[in-house]
Structure 1
Amino acid sequence: MYKIEITTKHNKVGILRDAFFKEGITGMTIINVSGQGNQKGKVEIYRGSQITANLMPRIRVEIIAKAEDVERIKDIALKTLASGQVGDGKIVILPVADVIRIRTGQNGYEAI
């Protein structure tokens, strides 16, 4: 099993979720996050003062998937999110040792 973390702009999460649903991928966790990368924040004017917002608001979509589904999920995310602009986001793929459903004690992929 693998955990796929996709971090992107807020305005992209709806089309990403729809693309996953269309392909039968329905189990995911969506989290509000903040971070700093190549964009290095943005300059805003607040009450006449210039302020640099260092942390950019983003959305993280997390999916636990079987090994054979990882490439398909990655390809859907890349096709849906890539605009070629700074700030499109990141995809991180991590191995998962186990998942346990607290209510039943099931573990492994059956717990998802």
Structure 2
Amino acid sequence: MKLIIATIKPFKLEEVRLALTDIGIRGLMVTEIKGFGSQSGHTEIYRGAEYAVNFVPKIKLELVVASDQVDQVLEAITKSARTGKIGDGKIFVLDVLQAMRVRTGETDQDAL
């Protein structure tokens, strides 16, 4: 099993969710976050005063999938989240040693 953590632009969330649903992904955790990378923020004008926005709003997706689904999930996220502009996000893939469904006690692949 693998944990996939992806950061995407907020307006791409529904498109990514639909792409993942289309390939059979049933579970997803979503968190609103702020961060910076190459984009490193921007300046905005509010009531005539200019100020720096150092952290950019992003969405963090977390999902655990079977190891044989990773490539398909990465492709779905990449295609649906890409705008071609700076700040499209990042995807990380980590190993998951164990999983358990709280309600039933099912473990590992059965818990997904």
For normalisation by structure 1, the TM-score amounts to 0.91
Instruction: Structure 2: state its 5+ residue gaps.
Output: none
> How do residues 25-104 of structure 1 correspond to structure 2 at under 5 angstroms?
25-104=25-104
Aligned residues: 112
Aligned sequence identity (%): 34
The 3-state SS of whatever aligns with 1:70 is helix
Moved more, 43-52 or 1-10: 43-52
* Structure 1: 4+ residue segments shifted above 4 A: none
What is the Cα deviation at residue 110 of structure 1? 1.6
Distance 1:57 1:15 in 2: 17
Match of residue 9 from structure 2: 9
Provide the aligned C-alpha RMSD in A.
Answer: 1.3
Amino acid in the other structure paired with 2:70:
V
Amino acid in the other structure paired with 1:108:
D
What is the Cα deviation at residue 84 of structure 1? 1.9
Distance 2:85 2:105 in 1: 44
Q: Deviations over 1:9-33 (max 9, x none)?
A: 1100001111111221121111111
For normalisation by structure 2, the TM-score amounts to 0.91
